[in-house]
């Protein structure tokens, strides 16, 4: 999620290959056992659900092999697992499947909550044209890693090797930038799932192996689908994660509706651009800046916000953005102009099917959002 810990994600990437050797819980090995989960206030459960949905039914399974209950959703093939830590490197324990009735109440509660949001994220992508076909893991992390600002990996979320790592949140909940459980927020979990999607489909995995503009595109795609999937629809990425937030403080990681107004208590001096010209100027003036991925991502995600403001539905926009992932020809060297081209091709394809007779007018209406943030075609 954040550039600082992206490096840890890259390290994790090298040692998590064991996931591919894990056996999947197959349909014959499990019995579906729907369970009602009562949403909790505060750390684990987003209070929005409690007031709007009441109890939540989470499907999970009982294994016929060892008669243990697992946090696992059949059909989607998503499992919750725990983590281990060695010298500040967090790994998933793929064969230590998190048990619903495990001895650690905190971990099992977080597992239910994280799995619920992973189901939501997975289903949102699926119903809008992209199904994640690999086994998906949710690794609930309660280990602290060294960080200048706090508990490190415990306050972060990241993605690697079919796994979404979700930190349990701050140990000191009174500090200003304290976070809750990272799996409690639909937008955070969807953001991380999108990193797995763009990694798998375009090879956008490691910041160090792609162009600067590609790093910004990586974060933008994750933020855009995160906000389209988020029931709170505030276009403020991560707003619900900060425990000491309030309307007056207006904390979030990125304010996509108004990037320059972002109030990120975790990184108060960071910069978020609104136009491509602002981004290129910023890169030229501050070449050693540490987080161009976040600074540039808001140019693209703000264009998506402007499209939404034109009145197009979340589903239509999600279908086009997801389809555009298959249109890149530049891979790990993709720039903002390539994004415009990919989006255009996807918009023609999607809207010609659902947009009706005047779909070409709709395509150009959407493309005007790219004009507004200063991204034009190469030709």
Buried b (16+ CB within 10 A) or exposed e, 142-159: bbbbebeebbbbbbbbbb
**Is the CB of 303 or the CB of 350 nearer to Zn ion?**
303
**Is the CB of 197 or the CB of 257 nearer to Zn ion?**
197
- The phi and psi torsions of 29 (rounded to 5 degrees) equal -95, -10
Q: Which two three-digit tokens encode residue 138?
A: 């949710």
* Helix, strand, coil percent values for the chain (each to nearest 5): 45, 15, 35
Q: How far is the CB of 264 from Zn ion (least distance, A)?
A: 14
Query: What is the Cα–Cα distance from 40 to 49, expressed in whole angstroms?
Result: 9
Q: Is 295 in the site for Zn ion (CB under 5 A)?
A: no
Which residues, including other chains, have CB under 8 Å from residue 212's CB and lie 6 or more apart? 283, 292, 293, 296
How many beta carbons lie within 10 A of that of residue 161, not counting itself?
21
Q: Which two three-digit tokens encode residue 104?
A: 């650690």
Q: Which of 225, 211, 189 is CA-nearest to residue 80?
A: 189
- Applying the rule CB under 5 A, the residues between 333 and 362 that interact with Zn ion are none
Q: In the block, which residue shows the tokens 């100027």?
A: 281
**Is the CB of 72 or the CB of 158 nearer to Zn ion?**
158
Q: How far is the CB of 195 from Zn ion (least distance, A)?
A: 6
Q: How far is the CB of 223 from Zn ion (least distance, A)?
A: 8
Query: What is the Cα–Cα distance from 321 to 128, expressed in whole angstroms?
Result: 10
By CB under 5 A, the count of residues binding Zn ion is 3
Q: How far is the CB of 207 from Zn ion (least distance, A)?
A: 10
**Is the CB of 39 or the CB of 296 nearer to Zn ion?**
296
Site string for Zn ion, 175-214 (x = CB under 5 A): ----------------------------------------
Q: How far is the CB of 12 from Zn ion (least distance, A)?
A: 14
Q: Which residue is nearest to Zn ion (CB)?
A: 1
Q: Yes or no: say if 120 and 61 are a contact pair by the CB < 8 Å rule.
A: no
Q: How far is the CB of 19 from Zn ion (least distance, A)?
A: 20
Q: Can you count the helices (H) and strands (E) in the chain?
A: 10, 11
**Is the CB of 205 or the CB of 303 nearer to Zn ion?**
205
Alpha helices for the chain (secondary structure H): 3-15, 47-53, 105-127, 186-202, 212-229, 276-285, 292-309, 314-324, 336-354, 359-372
**Is the CB of 71 or the CB of 295 nearer to Zn ion?**
295
Q: How far is the CB of 313 from Zn ion (least distance, A)?
A: 25
Q: Is 1 in the site for Zn ion (CB under 5 A)?
A: yes
**Is the CB of 219 or the CB of 230 nearer to Zn ion?**
219
What does the chain come to in residues? 379
Residue 287, Cβ density class (10 Å: 0-12 exposed, 13-18 middle, ≥19 buried): exposed
- The phi and psi torsions of 344 (rounded to 5 degrees) equal -60, -50
Q: How far is the CB of 242 from Zn ion (least distance, A)?
A: 17
**Is the CB of 190 or the CB of 222 nearer to Zn ion?**
222
**Is the CB of 219 or the CB of 341 nearer to Zn ion?**
219
Which residues, including other chains, have CB under 8 Å from residue 253's CB and lie 6 or more apart? 1, 2, 237, 238, 241, 262, 264, 266, 294
**Is the CB of 181 or the CB of 344 nearer to Zn ion?**
181
Q: How far is the CB of 219 from Zn ion (least distance, A)?
A: 5
Query: What is the Cα–Cα distance from 137 to 161, expressed in whole angstroms?
Result: 9
Q: Is 252 in the site for Zn ion (CB under 5 A)?
A: no
- Applying the rule CB under 5 A, the residues between 118 and 137 that interact with Zn ion are none
- Applying the rule CB under 5 A, the residues between 207 and 246 that interact with Zn ion are 219, 222
Q: How far is the CB of 89 from Zn ion (least distance, A)?
A: 19
Site for Zn ion, rule CB under 5 A: 1, 219, 222
């Amino acid at each position: 999620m954040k550039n600082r810990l992206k490096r840890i994600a890259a390290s994790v990437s090298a040692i998590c290959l064991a996931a591919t050797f894990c056996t999947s819980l197959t349909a014959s090995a499990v019995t579906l056992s729907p369970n009602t989960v009562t949403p909790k206030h505060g750390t684990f459960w987003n209070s929005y659900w409690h007031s709007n949905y009441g109890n939540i039914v989470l499907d999970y399974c009982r294994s016929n092999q060892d008669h243990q209950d697992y946090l696992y959703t059949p059909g989607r093939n998503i499992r919750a697992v725990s983590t281990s830590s060695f010298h500040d490197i967090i790994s998933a324990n793929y064969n230590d499947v998190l048990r619903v009735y495990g001895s650690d109440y905190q971990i099992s509660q977080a597992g239910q909550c994280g799995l619920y949001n992973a189901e939501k994220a997975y289903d949102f992508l699926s119903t809008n044209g992209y199904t994640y076909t690999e086994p998906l893991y949710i690794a609930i992390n309660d280990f602290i890693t060294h960080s200048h600002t706090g508990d490190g990996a415990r306050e972060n979320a990241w993605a690697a090797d079919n796994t979404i790592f979700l930190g349990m949140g701050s140990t000191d909940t009174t500090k200003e930038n304290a976070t809750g459980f990272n799996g409690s927020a639909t937008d955070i979990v969807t953001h991380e799932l999108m990193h797995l999607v763009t990694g798998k489909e375009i090879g956008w995995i490691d910041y160090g192996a792609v162009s600067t503009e590609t790093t910004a595109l990586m974060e933008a795609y994750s933020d855009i689908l995160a906000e389209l999937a988020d029931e709170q629809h505030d276009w403020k990425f991560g707003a619900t994660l900060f425990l000491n937030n309030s309307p007056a403080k207006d904390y979030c990681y990125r304010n996509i509706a108004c990037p320059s107004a972002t109030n990120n208590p975790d990184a108060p001096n960071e910069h978020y651009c609104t136009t491509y010209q602002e981004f290129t100027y910023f890169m030229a003036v501050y070449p050693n800046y540490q987080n161009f991925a976040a600074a540039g991502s808001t140019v693209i995600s703000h264009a998506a916000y402007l499209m939404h403001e034109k009145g197009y539905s979340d589903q239509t926009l999600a279908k086009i953005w997801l389809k555009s992932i298959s249109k890149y020809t530049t891979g790990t060297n993709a720039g903002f102009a390539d994004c415009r081209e990919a989006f255009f091709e996807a918009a023609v394809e999607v809207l010609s099917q659902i947009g009706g007779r005047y779909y070409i007018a709709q395509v150009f209406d959407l493309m005007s959002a790219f004009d507004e943030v200063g991204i034009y075609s190469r030709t």
